[in-house]
Amino acid sequence: MKGNVYTLLYAFVLGTTCALLLTAASQFTTPYRDANAKAEEVLNILTALKVPFEEGASSEELLNVFNGNIEEKQRGDMTIYEYSPANGNGEVLAVVMRFAGPGLWGPVKGFLALESDLRTIRGLTFYEQEETPGLGGEIVTDDFRSQFAGKSIVDESNKAGIVIRGGGNKLINGVDAISGATMTCDKVQQMLNKAIVKIVENE
């Protein structure tokens, strides 16, 4: 029977070796993973803004499209991205901003794109969510997201905010909620409105 000291020593050496190995691996892959994360963000911004790009484009191609068409700006305490086509006359077609907030199970994050009037939604994407697959998780589907295009972010009396609820698509600032995902929809509405209020008040 080997002693306690040996057992502790063994655990210590094994643990340290594994940790060192993984640290080295992580150091080595960090630049690649960062580049992937950046490309993912760029892809989401381009999708929300409906900037045309080739399907299945590589990370570098996406970055090229992004750098050619999109300009990063500060607006109050928000970072926004303005879309003015490379072959246009410098006119801003649309802007996109980040929104985030707690979902039902975990953080939900995404991009909201507005037309140049800053009152009409152009599109939106979610790049992080852990909602229930098949219910709240349906927020990432085209069916749900495409409802937002063309909707106003203010109601008839010019009050900022959108509505996500059953039958909401009849409102100028509303879309249909997902059945069985009321909690997720409420929370998505809250986080969108937080961003929308900021945009409207920062005029």
Partner 1 sequence: MAGDQGGCKSCGGLCGGKGLVTLKDGAWTQNPLAIQVLGICSALAVTNKLENSLVMGAALIFVCVGSNLFVSLLRKHTPHRIRMIAEVAIIATFVILFDQLLKAFYWEMSKQLGPYVGLIITNCIVMGRAEAFALQNPPILSILDGLANGFGYAVILAIIGFFRELLGTGKVMGHEILSGNWYTPNQIMILAPGAFFALGIVIAIFNALKGPDPQENK
Interaction site with partner 1 (CB under 8 A): 2, 6-7, 10-11, 14-15, 18, 21-22, 25-26, 29, 32-33, 36, 39-40
- Nearest approach, Cβ of residue 167 and partner 1 (Å): 28
Q: Which is nearer to partner 1, 11 or 86 (CB)?
A: 11
Q: Which is nearer to partner 1, 25 or 86 (CB)?
A: 25
Nearest CA to 155 out of 142, 139, 168 is that of 168
- Nearest approach, Cβ of residue 81 and partner 1 (Å): 22
Q: Which is nearer to partner 1, 32 or 73 (CB)?
A: 32
- Nearest approach, Cβ of residue 30 and partner 1 (Å): 8
CA dist., res. 56 & res. 81, Å (int): 23
Q: Which is nearer to partner 1, 36 or 141 (CB)?
A: 36
